[in-house]
């Protein structure tokens, strides 16, 4: 039952985009893995709009192309990560500090949404086994490699239209939330 609920959240979390258009981005598809090491298809970023584009100190770039509020009570954020460091990079620090998330290794598990107006922080959703409802990256990023990601969170109130997406040592990315199905 818990697995079915997790899959339902993952499947229904796809779709739509909205927000400020900055530049054009491609819509690659990424692989995510569950606890058993099986590859699953991640929701691909939809549309060509860029909601936010931030760069970290080490040349790592994070582009958010979609942030969709679903009627099921969660928000799915998707986009891409690009390794512009010129060397191999593994996002192990992005897995988060919580002990429950320790098994997510190189993933988006440490991501959060911050509602500055309501002064609330929303942590990544996870299943009953502690696996995040997010992309788990398999293997290190090669120099100049780009991979798609998704991350799901509890939805802020419907009145909240903008949040900050935060992960690891990346600068916060202010993104607009669109309403989905």
What is the spatial distance between Cα 23 and Cα 51, in angstroms, rounded to a whole number? 9
Residue 93: what pLDDT? 80
pLDDT of residue 173: 95
CATH of the domain at 145: 2.60.40
Q: Identify the CA nearest to 120 among candidates 157, 152, 95, 151.
A: 157
pLDDT attached to residue 17: 39
Model pLDDT, residue 77: 97
Instruction: Report how many domains make up the chain.
Output: 1
Residue 70 DSSP SS3: coil
Q: What are the pLDDT digits (tens) for 33-87?
A: 333 333 333 444 445 689 999 999 889 999 999 999 998 899 999 999 999 999 9
DSSP 8-state assignment for residue 52 = E
Cβ atoms of 67 and 175 closer than 8 Å = yes
Cα–Cα distance, 129 to 3 (Å, whole number)? 10
Instruction: Domain of residue 17: give its range.
Output: 2-179
pLDDT tens, residue by residue, 89-130: 988 888 777 766 666 678 898 899 999 989 999 999 988 887
pLDDT of residue 121: 96
């Amino acid at each position: 039952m818990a697995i079915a609920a997790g899959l339902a959240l993952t499947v229904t979390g796809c779709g739509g985009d909205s927000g400020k258009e900055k530049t054009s981005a491609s819509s690659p598809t990424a692989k995510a893995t569950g606890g058993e090491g099986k590859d699953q298809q991640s929701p691909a970023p939809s549309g060509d709009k860029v909601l936010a584009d931030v760069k970290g100190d080490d040349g790592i770039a994070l582009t958010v192309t979609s942030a969709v509020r679903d009627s099921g009570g969660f928000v799915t954020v998707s986009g891409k990560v690009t390794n512009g460091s010129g060397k191999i990079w593994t996002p192990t620090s992005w897995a988060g500090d919580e002990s429950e998330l320790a098994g997510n290794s190189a993933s988006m598990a440490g991501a959060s949404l911050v509602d500055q107006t309501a002064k609330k922080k929303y942590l990544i959703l996870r299943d009953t086994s502690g696996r995040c409802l997010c992309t788990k990256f398999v293997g290190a990023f090669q120099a100049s490699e780009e991979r798609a990601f998704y991350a799901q969170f509890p939805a802020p109130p419907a009145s909240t239209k903008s949040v900050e997406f935060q992960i690891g040592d990346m600068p916060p990315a202010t993104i607009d939330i669109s309403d989905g199905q």
